[in-house]
C-alpha cells in the first residue's frame, strides 16, 4: 500500500512522473481518471489552501470527497484518533488525507495498513505536498525538465523555520536534489542543524536564486517570542527595497502575513509566485492522487 508521509516515499522515477503528470494536467485537464474513487479529508488543524486544493484536485479527476470536520465529530465525545480513523477506514475509502498537530500521526495511522494515508501537514515535521508543489514551481520557473536540474540552485529559507513543516519537508527534498539551502532567521526561529545560517538576509542575498519566506507561526509558540512583529519585519520582511532588481524567485506557502513576511508591493511583483504556487498545487496534488490511487 502506497502512502505519502514525506517526499522520501517517492523514488526518483515516481518524483519525475509526478512532475510530468502535473505539467501535462496544467496544459490540459485529463479525463475523469479517478471516477470510481472516494477520498476522506480529515483536518485537525485549520487550512485554506491544502484542504481545498486536495478537494479541487480530487474532483477534477472525478473522485468523490467526504470531509469530516473534527470539531463536529465524535472526537468531542472522547473518541480517540485511532478509533476515528479505524471507523472511517471501515467505510472503505480509497485514501484518507490527514492534517494533524503531531509529527507522527500520519505514520502511526499508515502502519495500520487499512487505507492509503496522504499527509496534508503534520506538526512541524512534514508537509510533503507543499514541498512537491514548490519543487514543481521552481522547475517551471527555471525551465527544468527534471527535479535534479535544480541541482546547484541556492534557496534561502527566511522566517520561522523551526516551527515550519514546509521548511522541514522542503529542506529534505531540496537537499536530495543537490540544491544549496541557506537559513535566514533570528535565533529563536532557527532550527538546530548543520545548514548555513544567517541572521540577516543581506548577508546572503547576492548568492540566492530563490527566497522562501515563511510565516511566524504564532499558534505553535508556547509563549510570545517577539512582542513587536513590526520590529521583526524591519529585518525579515521581503520588500522591493531589499530585493532591488535582483532576479530572485520569491515563494511563500501561505498564509502570508502582509508587511511582516512580504510587503504589499512585493506581493504584486512579478518575481513573487505565491498564487502560482497555489495554482500549481492543484496539478501536483492531482498527480499525487493519481500516483497513489492508480499507479502503484
* Interface ranges with ligand CP (CB under 6 A): 47-50, 121, 130, 253-255
CB closer to ligand CP, 49 vs 271: 49
Dump the DSSP string for 25-59. HHHS----TTTT-EEEEEESS--SHHHHHHHHHHH
* Cα–Cα dist 18/291, whole Å: 7
CB closer to ligand CP, 252 vs 290: 252
Q: How far is the CB of 121 from ligand CP (least distance, A)?
A: 6
Q: How far is the CB of 244 from ligand CP (least distance, A)?
A: 28
CB closer to ligand CP, 14 vs 169: 169
Q: Where are the beta strands (DSSP E) in 173-279?
A: 180-184, 197-198, 210-213, 249-251
Specify whether the backbone of 62 is left (phi greater than 0), alpha (psi in -120 to 50) or beta: left
Q: How far is the CB of 31 from ligand CP (least distance, A)?
A: 28
Only one residue has cell 547576492, namely 206
Q: How far is the CB of 52 from ligand CP (least distance, A)?
A: 8
CB closer to ligand CP, 54 vs 232: 54
252: which residues sit within 8 A by CB, 6+ positions away? 212, 213, 214, 215, 261, 262, 272, 274, 277
Q: How far is the CB of 97 from ligand CP (least distance, A)?
A: 11
CB closer to ligand CP, 69 vs 79: 69
* Cα–Cα dist 165/240, whole Å: 27
Q: How far is the CB of 127 from ligand CP (least distance, A)?
A: 6
* Cα–Cα dist 104/186, whole Å: 27
Nearest to 284 by CA among 1, 2, 40, 10: 10
Specify whether the backbone of 143 is left (phi greater than 0), alpha (psi in -120 to 50) or beta: left
CB closer to ligand CP, 62 vs 254: 254
Amino acid at each position: 500500500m502506497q502512502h505519502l508521509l514525506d517526499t522520501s516515499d517517492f523514488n526518483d522515477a515516481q518524483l519525475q512522473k509526478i512532475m510530468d503528470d502535473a505539467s501535462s494536467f496544467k496544459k490540459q485537464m485529463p479525463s475523469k481518471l479517478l471516477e470510481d474513487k472516494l477520498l476522506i479529508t480529515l483536518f485537525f488543524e485549520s487550512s485554506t489552501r491544502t484542504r481545498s486544493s486536495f478537494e479541487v484536485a480530487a474532483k477534477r479527476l472525478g473522485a468523490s470527497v467526504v470531509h469530516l470536520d473534527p470539531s463536529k465529530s465524535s472526537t468531542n465525545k472522547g473518541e480517540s484518533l485511532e478509533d476515528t480513523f479505524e471507523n472511517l477506514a471501515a467505510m472503505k475509502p480509497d485514501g484518507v488525507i490527514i492534517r494533524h498537530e503531531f509529527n507522527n500521526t500520519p505514520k502511526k495511522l499508515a502502519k495500520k495498513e487499512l487505507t492509503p494515508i496522504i499527509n496534508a501537514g503534520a506538526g512541524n515535521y512534514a508537509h510533503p505536498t507543499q514541498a512537491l508543489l514548490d519543487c514543481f514551481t521552481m522547475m517551471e520557473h527555471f525551465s527544468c525538465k527534471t527535479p535534479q536540474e535544480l541541482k546547484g540552485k541556492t534557496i534561502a529559507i527566511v522566517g520561522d523555520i523551526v516551527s515550519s513543516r514546509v521548511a522541514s519537508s522542503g529542506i529534505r527534498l531540496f537537499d536530495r536534489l543537490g540544491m544549496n539551502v541557506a537559513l535566514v532567521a533570528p535565533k529563536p526561529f532557527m532550527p538546530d542543524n548543520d545548514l548555513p545560517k544567517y541572521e540577516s538576509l543581506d548577508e546572503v542575498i547576492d548568492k540566492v536564486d530563490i527566497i522562501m519566506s515563511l510565516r511566524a507561526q504564532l499558534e505553535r509558540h508556547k509563549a510570545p517570542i517577539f512582542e513587536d512583529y513590526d520590529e521583526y519585519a524591519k529585518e525579515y520582511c521581503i520588500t522591493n527595497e531589499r530585493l532591488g532588481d535582483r532576479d530572485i524567485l520569491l515563494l511563500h506557502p501561505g498564509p502570508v502575513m502582509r508587511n511582516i513576511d512580504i510587503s504589499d508591493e512585493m506581493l504584486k511583483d512579478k518575481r513573487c509566485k505565491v498564487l502560482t504556487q497555489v495554482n500549481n498545487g492543484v496539478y501536483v496534488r492531482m498527480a499525487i492522487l493519481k500516483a497513489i490511487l492508480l499507479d502503484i
